[in-house]
């Protein structure tokens, strides 16, 4: 059904200003501003509650920005744009005033798309004559006022950071202590029950999967599924309306701010997983929702010489044209908005290599990186890259500028391979355990450059990593063809659910191994939500479309799940208490020594207590190793410039399928050692058993032992 349109009468239209872009309410009226280089005429469409449109011609244009000011128009007003201009796909232009378009700068969005034919350009000769009104999303004028009170960013140092990757909906959707009407929303995440879990766990930052307004794909809707992960952005300034408990006429903005304020009050930073590399409009067969109809050739990378097709380095159908000044401005304005107005503490950039892709590698001199580096707002928050895309050159871990941290997929692979006893894994495992200096030190970066993870949203959960050899994605409706086939997983002897006691015990132990390894490694550890609770997706390693029990955390916990949470909490507490476990600088393997301190900062030891030799590292059948972390030889001072002295630690790793006797080193390393962790113990930390120097310690099959002695 096409909405009725009429000109707005009886209300003055002032010329307004070309900046800021978007709809800016000043207390008395709203300024509207839209960039389009190709437009010949632009109409502002004000949409009333009954769907009626009131059309306001935008007569003023400065530097390709169309603008006007409407007195007495304020928060809650829904609107869109109709752009009159050329429709010549062969030249890259796709303007059609019959498409009601979303403002790229809108701060809030009302409604969702419904996959109606009017959203697409399917007419064989010229633009579609079907009107998309009533089938698309609308921008909403918002009130920027909010009482932040004494809100302060926690500003956690990188070295002290423990990230918890979470999904706004999935985290609380079934939480019994969160009121039903708040579950799966921003307000639900801000509820004391949710915050208490995070703070008791000891994490310091919540990395939220996409909350920028995204689109529900028609192909998924036709299967009865949905875009659960949200990597399908259409509104870079708007918090997704599907996660709002209190309304979508601007209430979602206030609700999001309240969530950030509550998390900050609990000492938790908020990091957003942002998707600036592409939009939800897809390729030439996708819907016209916003950018495509406003100025297609300015916003998107098109195939050179074949302008009707999109140049795609993301695998989603399109890529934003990063070299265009207004695209760069859009991204930078969005980032600054989320920091200054929404008070977030950092960003994780999805497919970040696309943002700077030039030729065969990530170019550190790209405009995007230059802008980030010099920006006084964005350069001061946490910046995390996913260093991968499908462009030429592929995986780019270690190639980002010094300001950035990176998701370290090599860490994930090495740790998975070690604990499933693959051959020739010791060297790689040791490098990843100590911060991946081979990837980052060449550009004078520090361990914080490495965001370490074993699992993330994309792939198996931790429980499934130790329960399945193969993916089981049948519920996605693609015949189990989607998702990664090479997962470096191991089912511990039985595929999927089982009642075999030996298999269940081994799976529980392996989960403890992974968690302990992650939290005792140098760098920034990241937990995937629910891994501390043994969350399962039933073997689904691509739950992007599963807004269901498949993806949600099940808060009805077994005793085993509570024990795993207690174990995770304990190890995070150890990390927080000991600076040698969260060093700001790389180990050197050499430090100033003296009579009282004759040892370097780090020593790798074979099970017989010999220092590792080159021959030892090259052995393919070696699955056991020890590492000495010297708390008396920490090179970096504390924040006040004072020397840092800590307890020393011995980590004994045995990924072999049989127990291993480890000989403790001589008294130069320590006279007595106390056990703090033994992952072979199902009921948590052992009773701090002591061991003398030079004696043997039995490390059970596929387990880890952490020993400590006091500082000298």
- The pairing of strands 78-84 and 65-71 is unpaired
DSSP for 67-132 reads EEEEET--TT-EEEEEEE--EEGGGTEE--TTS-B--TT-S-EE------GGGS---SSSS-----
φ, ψ of residue 349 to 5 degrees: the values are -95, 115
470: exposed, middle or buried (C-beta count within 10 Å: 0-12, 13-18, 19+)? Answer: middle
Separation in Å, CA 607 to CA 490, 642, 650, 658, 696:
25, 35, 12, 14, 9
| Residue 325 CA from chain centroid, whole number | 26
Bridge partner list, 84: 41
Query: Tokens 């195939």 label which residue?
Result: 303
Alpha helices in 521-638 (DSSP H): 559-577, 614-618
Alpha helices in 434-558 (DSSP H): 437-440, 462-465, 501-520
Q: Residue 649: name the closest of 598, 590, 582 by CA.
A: 582
Measured distance between the N- and C-terminal CA atoms of the chain, rounded to whole angstroms: 79
Find the catalytic residue in 386, 389, 406, 532. 386
Residue 646 among the catalytic residues: no
3-state secondary structure of 63: coil
Structural element, H or E, at residue 256: helix 251-265
Query: Tokens 């009579």 label which residue?
Result: 595
Residue 386 among the catalytic residues: yes
Find the catalytic residue in 53, 269, 295, 350. 350
Query: Sign of the C-alpha dihedral, residues 620, 622, 623, 627?
Result: negative
Structural element, H or E, at residue 334: helix 325-340
Bridge partner list, 661: 698
* Distance, CA of 525 to CA of 420 (rounded, Å): 21
**What secondary structure, in 3-state letters, does 471-489 show?**
CCCHHHCCCCCCCCCCCCC
- Residues carrying an active site annotation: 350, 386
């Amino acid at each position: 059904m096409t909405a009725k349109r009429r000109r707005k009468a009886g209300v003055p239209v002032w010329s307004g200003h070309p900046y800021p872009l978007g709809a800016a309410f000043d207390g008395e009226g709203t300024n509207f501003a839209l960039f389009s280089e190709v437009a010949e005429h632009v109409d502002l469409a004000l949409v009333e509650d009954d769907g009626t449109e009131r059309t306001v011609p935008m007569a003023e244009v400065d530097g390709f920005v169309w603008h006007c000011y409407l007195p007495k128009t304020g928060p809650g007003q829904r609107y869109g744009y109709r752009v009159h201009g050329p429709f010549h796909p062969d030249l890259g232009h796709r303007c059609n005033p019959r498409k009601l378009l979303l403002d790229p700068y809108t701060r809030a969005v009302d409604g969702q798309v419904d996959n109606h034919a009017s959203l697409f350009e399917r007419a064989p000769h010229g633009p579609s004559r079907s009107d998309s009104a009533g089938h698309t999303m609308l921008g909403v004028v918002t009130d920027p006022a909010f009482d932040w009170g004494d809100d302060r960013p926690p500003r956690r140092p990188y070295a002290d950071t423990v990230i918890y990757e979470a999904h706004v909906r999935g985290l609380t959707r079934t939480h019994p202590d969160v009121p039903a009407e708040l579950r799966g929303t921003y307000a639900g995440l801000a509820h004391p029950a949710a915050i208490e879990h995070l703070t008791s766990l000891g994490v310091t930052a919540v990395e939220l999967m996409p909350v920028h307004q995204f689109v529900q794909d028609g192909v998924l809707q036709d299967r009865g599924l949905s875009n659960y992960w949200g990597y399908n952005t259409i509104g870079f300034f708007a918090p997704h309306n599907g996660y709002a408990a209190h309304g979508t006429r601007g209430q979602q903005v206030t609700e999001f701010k309240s969530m950030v304020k509550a998390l900050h009050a609990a000492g938790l930073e908020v990091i957003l997983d942002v998707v600036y590399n592409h939009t939800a409009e897809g390729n030439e067969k996708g819907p016209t929702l916003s950018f495509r109809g406003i100025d297609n050739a300015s916003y998107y990378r098109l195939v050179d010489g074949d302008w009707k097709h999109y140049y795609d380095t993301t695998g989603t159908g399109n890529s934003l044209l990063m070299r265009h000044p207004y695209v760069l401005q859009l991204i930078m304005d969005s980032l600054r908005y989320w920091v200054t107005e929404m008070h977030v503490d950092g960003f994780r950039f999805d497919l970040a290599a696309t943002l700077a892709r030039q030729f065969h590698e990530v170019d550190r001199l790209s405009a995007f990186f230059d802008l980030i580096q010099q920006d006084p707002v964005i350069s001061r928050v946490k910046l995390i890259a996913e260093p991968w895309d499908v462009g030429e050159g592929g995986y780019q871990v270690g190639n980002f500028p010094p300001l950035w941290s990176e998701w370290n997929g090599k860490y994930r692979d090495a740790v998975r391979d070690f604990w499933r006893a693959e051959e020739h894994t010791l060297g790689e495992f040791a490098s990843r355990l100590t911060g991946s200096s081979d990837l980052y030190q060449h550009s004078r970066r520090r361990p914080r450059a490495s965001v370490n993870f074993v699992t993330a949203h994309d792939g198996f959960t931790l429980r499934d990593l130790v329960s399945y050899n193969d993916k089981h994605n049948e519920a996605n409706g693609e015949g189990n063809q989607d998702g990664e086939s090479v997962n470096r997983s191991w089912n511990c002897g039985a595929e999927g659910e089982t009642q075999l006691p030996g298999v269940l015990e081994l799976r529980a132990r392996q989960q403890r191994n992974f968690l302990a390894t992650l939290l005792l490694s140098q760098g920034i550890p990241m937990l995937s939500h629910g891994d501390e609770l043994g969350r399962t997706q039933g073997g689904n390693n691509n739950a992007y479309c599963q807004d269901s029990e498949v993806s949600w955390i099940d808060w009805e916990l077994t005793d085993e799940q509570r024990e795993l949470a207690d174990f995770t909490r304990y190890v995070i507490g150890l990390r927080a208490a000991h600076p040698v476990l969260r060093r700001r600088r790389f180990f050197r393997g050499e430090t100033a020594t003296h009579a009282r301190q004759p040892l370097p900062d780090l020593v790798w030891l074979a099970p017989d207590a010999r220092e590792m030799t080159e021959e030892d590292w090259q052995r393919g059948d070696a699955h056991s190793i020890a590492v000495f972390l010297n708390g008396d030889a920490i090179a970096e001072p504390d924040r006040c410039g004072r020397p840092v002295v800590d307890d020393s630690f011995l980590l004994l790793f045995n990924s072999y399928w049989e127990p291993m006797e480890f000989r403790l080193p001589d008294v130069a390393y320590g006279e007595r050692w106390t056990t703090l962790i033994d992952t072979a113990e199902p009921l948590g930390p052992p009773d701090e058993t002591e061991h003398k120097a030079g004696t043997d310690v039995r490390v059970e099959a596929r387990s880890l032992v952490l020993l400590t002695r006091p500082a000298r």
